[in-house]
Amino acid sequence: MIKQIEIESFNEKIIVKRILGKVKGSKESPTVIAIAGIHGNERAGINSLLTVFKTIEAEQIKIKGNFYGISGNINAISENIRFKNVDLNRVWTSEKILKLYLEDDLEIESQEQKEIYEIIKEILQKENGPFYFLDLHTTSSDTQPFITISDSLDNRTFSSNFSIPTILGIEEYLDGPLLTYINEYGYVALGFEAGQHEKKDSVDNCVAFLWLALVAAKCVKKKHVKKYSFYKNSLSLFNEQQDFYKIDYKYTIKPFEQFKMIDGYKNFQKVIKDELLAFSNECEVVSALNGIIFMPLYQKKGDDGFFIISKISKFWLNISRVLRKLHIHNILKLLPGVSSEKKKPYLLIVNPKTAKYLATEIFHLFGYRKKVVKNDKLYFIKRDRKVSKFI
């Protein structure tokens, strides 16, 4: 087990252990599991979790079910870096988890992953659902708070409790984030980006988010949260209504590439086609389309340069909800070039030639996410899933 560490974070001396807090309430369910610091330089989530656990204890707030706080990359947290060798939020695939049990000499991030994996597994075996997973992050650029989710209807419903922008489908552009892995077992899982890494506001935003989430999950009663209205307002200050966004473009930084974002871009700032956004090896990188810039990279580690996103219409959101509720996704399997396996009914195997004329958008509408696999096939994986045994 990785030992606890003591750090100074946001002018506070704090102790970081793998389990940051644990409260067992009167009833058996629900169970809320919050993870903080899976990126070691994103400490706001850790401070906020410790604060919330302290308040629960000091004010003897009644809890229904269970509330857990888990820390992420403790070795990286101790050095205030995103990760040491491997990004701990890009390793959550069945193959990589299996490897944790096949190799004796695990490198540093794999040890962390194994501990987190075993704790999550134990909680899922021991406690009762519904389970709600919250992953707390911050960004290198200045930003208002936002949520990222896999586009399942359960995730959408839960994220509607927060009046902040929600970005759907970022997992199609990332390899192996923890929440995608958890989602595939049918659990609700929200990523919360609280603000810029160093800003104290990010801690406050995380605290507000955690209380709202505990109330939304019915773990805590609204009337027991003294500053509930303040928390609700402080998050919704940024956006009166909730908007959903989709990702249209991602700029990936290649190995050894010198990438430099133009200074001053704020998250959710509008950009126009051909606007100069960055320099790559001293060559200009311009926007490929009109849209909204998302997560521009202002730190050294990480290979996502920036994203371009756009707002999703209410019409699309409603239509996709109705289609999914009617369970008519099976018609996709009748299309030429689309097949599925009996054992994995949630998976569609699509011939890339078919995919060319059948827009990814169709699969998104029915709640599938795209996964590119090596042997010339495309996988589309259903996001709305029944809860299955976590392995």
Residue nearer to Zn ion on the CB measure, 192 or 231? 192
User: To the nearest whole angstrom, how small is the minimum distance from the Cβ of residue 57 to Zn ion?
Assistant: 28
Asked if residue 90 binds Zn ion (CB under 5 A), the reply is: no
CA distance 73 to 313: 37
When the beta carbons of 306 and 363 are compared against Zn ion, the nearer one is 306
Single out the residue of 21, 33, 35, 39 in contact with Zn ion (rule: CB under 5 A).
39
Give the burial class of 290: count Cβ atoms within 10 A of its Cβ; 0-12 exposed, 13-18 middle, 19 or more buried.
Answer: middle
Contact segment (CB under 5 A) with Zn ion among 37-45, 166-174, 304-312, 381-389 equals 37-45
What's the min distance (Å) between Cβ of 13 and Zn ion?
A: 23
Nearer to Zn ion, 25 or 195 (CB): 195
Q: Which residues in 232-271 contact Zn ion (CB under 5 A)?
A: none
Find the helix or strand (DSSP H, E) in which 328 lies: none
User: What binding mask, one character per residue, do residues 146-185 give for Zn ion by CB under 5 A, x or -?
Assistant: ----------------------------------------
- For residues 127-146, which are near Zn ion according to CB under 5 A? 137
Q: Residue 42 or 184: which CB sits closer to Zn ion? A: 42
Cis peptide bond upstream of 30, omega within 30: yes
Give the nearer residue to Zn ion in terms of CB position, either 39 or 364.
Answer: 39
Read off the amino acid at residue 186: G
3-state helix, strand, coil in the chain (%, to 5): 30, 25, 40
CA angle 16-217-313, nearest 5°?
Answer: 105
Distance of closest approach, residue 149 Cβ to Zn ion, in angstroms: 15
Burial class (CB in 10 A: 0-12, 13-18, 19+), 249: middle
Q: For residue 265, give every residue at least 6 positions away whose Cβ sits within 8 Å of its Cβ, in sequence order, or none.
A: 141, 277, 293, 296, 306
Minimum distance from CB of 342 to Zn ion (Å)? 38
Beta bridge mates, 280: 259, 283
Number of residues that bind Zn ion (CB under 5 A): 3
- What is the phi/psi pair of residue 314, to 5°? -60, -35
In angstroms, rounded to a whole number, what is the distance separating the alpha carbons of residues 326 and 321?
9
Select from 3, 5, 85, 88 the least CA-distant residue to 42.
88
Per-residue buried b or exposed e for 26-50, using 16+ beta carbons within 10 Å of the residue's own CB: eeebbbbbbbbbbbbbbbbbbbbbb
To Zn ion, the closest distance from the beta carbon of 145 in angstroms equals: 13
Provide the minimum distance between the beta carbon of 174 and Zn ion in the complex, in angstroms, as a whole number: 11
Using a 10 angstrom Cβ sphere, with 0-12 exposed, 13-18 middle and 19 or more buried, the burial of residue 330 is exposed
Q: How far is the CB of 279 from Zn ion (least distance, A)?
A: 24
The residue among 63 and 167 lying less far from Zn ion, judged by its C-beta, is: 167
Q: Of 40 and 291, which has the nearer Cβ to Zn ion?
A: 40
Question: Segment 41-70, which members bind Zn ion (CB under 5 A)?
Answer: 42
Report in angstroms how near the CB of residue 73 gets to Zn ion at its nearest.
Answer: 10
Which lies closer to Zn ion via its Cβ, residue 90 or residue 137?
137
Binding site for Zn ion (CB under 5 A): 39, 42, 137
